[in-house]
């Protein structure tokens, strides 16, 4: 297994709302929405069935500044800033990589810049345009670095330093206290037990087919959904805690039911079909990935 450390410099330039590009005053303001800005009688027909105020996704304002007074969004001005920021990001990476190359003789440096996908287009409305502009500029306007995936780098550099990464995460402070806290620590005993059971199922059903295989694949799917780090994150931050708790319990309960049905030799096909349709992420999942190493 290879581990790539995230580069904090390029991360902050893109991710940080205070110091990064998304906080530019020309970009669209995420926290203003016509669902709350416009007269309720005017928008009520469009926010059914409840008719209560909510986010619609339609936003008229730009960030403007830190005050509550916001100017109207100017798409052309925002796109001009996208080009400026894409060029700045490219310029900074050129100089960063040129410096790293000067102190790493004999080896090409790599700058790892991963981001949450939800940043682009959600929190930062112009994010997709920024990505496109940067990629085009990197291809046409510079010759210092190339764009690559970690797999590309490993293919070109198969020999790497052996290391043991520290306990770390992308969360606040770089540690794991966001995901291991009194607000969410109750989930882990259940996730660990479900993981043990999934490994045992994969070991005891080495090459199943038909209904049994479907149930095993769905059990693996439910386990992955229960393990989603967003649930514990939401419990910690206090936003939509009831929903996060509900999702965690639902996936664990479905996994447990599938486990009991498989061990009992009688899978309920109509119910299985229902949960397959409800959560059909990872359509190519193969439960045999959980087989213990060496089996």
Number of domains in the chain: 2
Matching residue, tokens 């999942």: 285
Does 17 fall in a domain? yes
Question: Can you give the pLDDT at residue 67?
Answer: 81
Same domain, 244 and 194: yes
Same domain, 87 and 16: yes
Question: Can you give the pLDDT at residue 68?
Answer: 81
Does 46 fall in a domain? no
**Residue 4 buriedness (CB in 10 A; 0-12 / 13-18 / 19+):** middle
Does 82 fall in a domain? yes
Does 42 fall in a domain? no
Does 59 fall in a domain? no
pLDDT at residue 107 tops 90: no
- Pick the last residue of a domain from 156, 179, 206: 156
Per-residue pLDDT band for 47 (boundaries 50, 70, 90) equals confident
Task: Give helix then strand counts, H and E, for the chain.
Answer: 11, 0
Same domain, 115 and 198: no
CB-facing half-sphere around the CA of 94: CA atoms within 13 A:
14
Does 181 fall in a domain? no
The strand pairing partners of 124, in sequence order, are 120
Same domain, 130 and 236: no
Does 119 fall in a domain? yes
pTM: 0.76
Question: Can you give the pLDDT at residue 247?
Answer: 97
pLDDT at residue 73 tops 90: yes
Helix, strand, coil percent values for the chain (each to nearest 5): 55, 0, 45
Same domain, 285 and 194: yes
pLDDT digits (tens, 9 = 90+) for 213-234: 999 999 999 999 999 999 999 9
Per-residue pLDDT band for 239 (boundaries 50, 70, 90) equals confident
Angle at 236 between CA 233 and CA 237, to 5 degrees: 85
H helical segments located in 141-237:
150-156, 187-204, 210-226, 229-237
For residues 148-170, b (16+ Cβ closer than 10 Å) or e, as one string?
eeeeebeeeeeeeeeeeeeeeee
Asked whether the beta carbons of 133 and 83 are under 8 A apart, the reply is yes
DSSP assigned state of 23: G
Q: Taking residues 79-95, what's their average pLDDT?
A: 97
The CATH number of the domain where 205 resides is what?
Answer: 1.20.1430.10
Range of the domain at 197: 187-290
Does 259 fall in a domain? yes
Same domain, 127 and 207: no
Same domain, 14 and 122: yes
């Amino acid at each position: 297994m290879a581990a790539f450390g995230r580069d904090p410099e390029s991360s902050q330039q893109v991710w940080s709302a205070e110091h990064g590009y998304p906080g530019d005053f020309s970009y669209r303001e995420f926290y203003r929405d016509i669902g709350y800005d416009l007269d309720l009688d005017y928008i009520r027909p469009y926010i059914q069935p409840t008719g209560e105020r909510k986010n619609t996704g339609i936003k008229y304002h730009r960030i403007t500044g830190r005050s509550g007074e916001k100017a109207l969004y100017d798409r052309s001005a925002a796109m001009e800033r996208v080009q400026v920021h894409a060029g700045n990001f490219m310029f900074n990476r050129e100089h960063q990589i040129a410096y790293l190359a000067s102190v790493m003789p004999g080896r090409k440096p790599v700058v790892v810049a991963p981001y949450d996908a939800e940043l682009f287009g959600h929190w930062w409305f112009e994010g997709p345009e920024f990505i496109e502009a940067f990629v085009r500029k990197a291809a046409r306007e510079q010759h210092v670095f190339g764009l690559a995936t970690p797999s590309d780098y490993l293919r070109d550099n198969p020999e790497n330093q052996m290391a043991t990464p520290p306990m770390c995460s992308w969360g606040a402070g770089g540690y794991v206290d966001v995901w291991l806290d009194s607000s969410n620590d109750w989930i882990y005993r259940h996730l660990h037990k479900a993981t043990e059971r999934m490994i045992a199922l994969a070991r005891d059903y080495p090459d199943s087919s038909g209904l049994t295989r479907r149930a095993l694949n769905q059990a693996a799917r439910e386990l992955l959904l229960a393990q989603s780090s967003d649930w514990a994150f939401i419990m910690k931050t206090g936003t939509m805690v009831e929903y996060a708790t509900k999702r965690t319990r639902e996936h664990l309960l479905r996994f447990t039911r599938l486990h009991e049905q498989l061990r009992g030799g009688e899978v309920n096909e109509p119910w299985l079909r229902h949960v397959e349709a409800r959560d059909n992420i990872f359509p190519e999942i193969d439960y045999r990935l959980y087989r213990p190493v060496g089996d």
